[in-house]
């Protein structure tokens, strides 16, 4: 497809997204959630988008589960993702901290005691778990504006629109390329940096086990926390029923760690174990459609010295 046709298609999808947002925001929230569940079933049963990948990932992670159990979890994954999409379209309706509190139950007292009360920033790591977009907007209202690190979408029109919604209540959006520079500036100024730490590192610099399989992991969040001396929290958002969510804050111990590469690797292991625990406990909340283990660690090469 030519660049011109790609541009037209991107513009059309953007217009459809805006139209869907107008429609969804006019409907009652309970009705939109019911509609999302139906949409999720359609994608799972009829369109089958990445269904084989999802069920394969689940089977490899939970070998003890039957095919029926795996299918049940997979169906719920699609329903939850459809619900997430609807909630993203409704983000402009979250205007105040009271609006956020009606959707997300978050006890932020300990977090504030370790950060704002001490004039310190924080690194927050989360995952494509629960509704991560709703979580970021809500925390920006319940705590203070957050700097959110995101991956640029291929469709630039939709990328700009979603970033507009992400920052609609004061959050700042930065791309991964800017994360190091902006992270140091933000954290040293007492701000909060938020990362989705469950994606692979395209450079493949550091490998570790994640959900039982070897994969590459970003060191950025750990490096920034150790370099600036701020606490690192895992923040996970899961469904609690009736369209509400629970946000859990868990500080990751940095005792005994310096700011070297090995220290960043160890802190990354520590917070990744926490991410794993939530995913294993609530598998229907994670984004299994991503080919998380596509980058394979290259074995070391040895030069025999022979000509």
Sheet containing 146-150, strands listed edge to edge, beginning at the edge strand earlier in sequence: 104-106, 244-252, 232-241, 122-126, 192-196, 146-150, 172-175
- When pLDDT is cut at 50, 70 and 90, the band that residue 300 belongs to is low
pLDDT at residue 4, as a whole number = 80
State the chain's mean pLDDT as an integer: 95
Average pLDDT over residues 103-111: 98
Cα 42 to its chain centre, rounded Å, is 24
pLDDT score for 201: 84
Using an 8 Å Cβ cutoff, are 187 and 224 in contact?
Answer: yes
C-alpha pair distances (Å), 17 with each of 84, 111, 161, 171: 14, 35, 9, 22
CB 307 within 8 A of CB 297: no
Residues 167-180 have pLDDT tens digits of 999 999 999 999 99
CA distance 231 to 121: 8
Helix (H) or strand (E) holding 265: helix 261-281
pLDDT tops 80 at residue 158: yes
User: DSSP letter string over 42-55?
Assistant: HIIIII-TTHHHHH
Phi and psi at 292, nearest 5°, equal -65, -25
DSSP 3-state of 232: strand
**Rounded mean pLDDT, 161-188:** 97
pLDDT of 266: 98
Amino acid 297: pLDDT = 72
What is the pLDDT, as a whole number, of residue 3?
A: 81
For the chain, the straight-line distance linking the first and the last C-alpha, in angstroms and rounded, comes to: 49
Q: What percent of the chain has pLDDT over 90?
A: 90
The H or E element spanning position 231 is none
Over residues 204-219, mean pLDDT: 93
Sign of the Cα pseudo-torsion (155, 18, 166, 34, in order): negative
Mean predicted confidence (pLDDT) in 124-142: 98
Residue keyed to tokens 């959050």: 171
Q: How confident is the model at residue 25 (pLDDT cuts 50, 70, 90)?
A: very high
pLDDT of residue 137: 98
- Tell me the domain boundaries of the chain: 3-285
pLDDT digit string, tens, across residues 27-74: 999 999 999 999 999 999 999 999 999 999 999 999 999 999 999 999
Q: Which two tokens stand for residue 252?
A: 């990751």
CB 248 within 8 A of CB 281: no
In 217-274 the beta strands, taken as DSSP E runs, fall at 232-241, 244-252
Q: What is the CA radius of gyration of the chain?
A: 20
Q: Which residue has the tokens 């450079």?
A: 203
Average pLDDT, stretch 87-94?
Answer: 98
Per-residue model confidence (pLDDT) at position 116: 94
């Amino acid at each position: 497809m030519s660049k011109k046709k790609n541009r037209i298609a991107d513009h059309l999808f953007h217009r459809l997204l805006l139209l869907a947002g107008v429609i969804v925001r006019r409907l009652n929230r309970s009705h939109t959630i019911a509609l999302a569940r139906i949409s999720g079933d359609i994608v799972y049963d009829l369109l089958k988008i990445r269904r084989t990948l999802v069920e394969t990932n689940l089977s490899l992670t939970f070998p003890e589960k039957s095919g029926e159990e795996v299918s049940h979890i997979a169906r719920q994954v699609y329903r939850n993702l459809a619900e997430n999409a609807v909630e993203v379209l409704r983000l402009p309706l979250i205007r105040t901290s009271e609006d956020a509190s009606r959707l997300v139950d978050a006890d932020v007292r300990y977090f504030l005691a370790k950060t704002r009360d001490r004039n310190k920033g924080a690194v927050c790591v989360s995952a494509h778990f629960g509704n991560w977009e709703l979580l970021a907007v809500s925390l920006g209202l319940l705590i203070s504006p957050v700097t959110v690190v995101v991956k640029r979408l291929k469709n630039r029109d939709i990328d700009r629109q979603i970033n507009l919604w992400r920052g609609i209540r004061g959050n700042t959006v930065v791309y991964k390329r800017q994360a190091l520079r902006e992270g140091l500036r933000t954290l040293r100024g007492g701000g909060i940096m938020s990362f989705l730490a469950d994606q692979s590192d395209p450079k493949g610099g550091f490998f570790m086990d994640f959900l039982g399989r070897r994969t590459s992991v970003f060191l950025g969040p750990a490096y920034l926390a150790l370099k600036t001396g701020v606490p690192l929290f895992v923040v996970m958002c899961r469904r609690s029923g009736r369209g509400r969510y629970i946000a859990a804050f868990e500080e990751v111990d940095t005792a005994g760690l310096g700011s070297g590469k090995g220290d960043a690797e160890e802190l990354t292991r520590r917070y990744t174990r926490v991410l794993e625990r939530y995913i294993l406990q609530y598998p229907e909340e994670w984004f299994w459609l991503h080919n998380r283990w596509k980058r394979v660690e290259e074995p070391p090469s040895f030069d025999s010295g022979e000509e």
